[in-house]
């Protein structure tokens, strides 16, 4: 009976304070995302510089899911490299992250949400909604999922 009381109390407290229940796993995992903002800024610098090899190296060695508008596919590392090494991929004139939020999803996993503005050579910025899942592989952050979906222009 005594063992049941703490469990029941935890359930009651979680029901009374749902926000506390939602933050409990993050507290248990510590702050796995503390160094992820620096990774994201370095990623942006790689994009702006057109450093294809640096961008390729940021992906999970097992490959990554690429998603847009709710449709996705898993690409192996060779397919990811082919995208960045192709003539179709061109570095933008400008690139800027906006409003990134870092959400711990495990001891070595973080979801990043926000937007970025990609300005190609025509000089017209395009806003893209961004959702990425990052995992720590051999001590370094790697991209496992990227969802990049254009945001419709507001009228």
CB count, 10 Å around CB of 40?
Answer: 21
**Over the stretch 121-136, which tens digit does the pLDDT of each residue have?**
999 999 999 999 999 9
User: At residue 28, does pLDDT exceed 90?
Assistant: no
Q: Given pLDDT bands bounded at 50, 70 and 90, which one contains residue 56?
A: very high
Residues 112, 108: Cα–Cα separation, whole Å: 13
CB-based contacts of 106: which residues, under 8 Å, 6+ apart? Answer: 29, 32
CATH number of 31-150: 3.10.450.50
Average pLDDT over all residues of the chain: 84
Per-residue model confidence (pLDDT) at position 71? 92
Residues 89, 81: Cα–Cα separation, whole Å: 11
In sequence order, what are the beta bridge partners of 145? 65, 133
Residue 104 tokens, joined = 């711990």
Residues 90, 83: Cα–Cα separation, whole Å: 10
CB-based contacts of 39: which residues, under 8 Å, 6+ apart? Answer: 58, 134, 141
Q: Given pLDDT bands bounded at 50, 70 and 90, which one contains residue 14?
A: very low
**Over the stretch 41-54, which tens digit does the pLDDT of each residue have?**
999 999 999 999 99
- CATH 3.10.450.50 residue ranges for the chain: 31-150
User: At residue 101, does pLDDT exceed 50?
Assistant: yes
Q: Per mean pLDDT, which of 32-36, 59-63, 103-107 is the most reliable?
A: 59-63
- Torsion angle, alpha carbons of 100, 103, 106, 109, to 10: -10
pTM: 0.78
- With beta carbons less than 8 A apart as the criterion, state whether 112 and 36 touch: yes
């Amino acid at each position: 009976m005594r063992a049941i009381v703490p469990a029941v109390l935890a359930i009651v407290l979680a029901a009374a304070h749902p926000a506390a229940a939602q933050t409990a796993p993050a507290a248990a995992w510590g702050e796995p995302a503390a160094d992820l903002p620096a990774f994201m800024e370095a990623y942006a610098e790689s994009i702006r510089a057109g450093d294809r090899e640096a961008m390729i190296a940021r992906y999970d060695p097992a490959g990554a899911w690429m998603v847009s508008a709710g449709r996705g596919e898993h690409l192996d590392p060779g397919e990811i490299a082919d995208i960045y090494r192709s003539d179709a991929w061109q570095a933008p004139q400008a690139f800027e992250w906006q409003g990134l939020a870092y959400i711990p999803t495990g001891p070595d996993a973080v979801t990043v949400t926000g937007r970025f503005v990609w300005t190609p050579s025509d000089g017209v910025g395009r806003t893209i909604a961004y959702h990425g899942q990052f995992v720590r592989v051999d001590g370094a952050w790697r991209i496992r999922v990227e969802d990049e979906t254009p945001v419709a222009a507001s009228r």
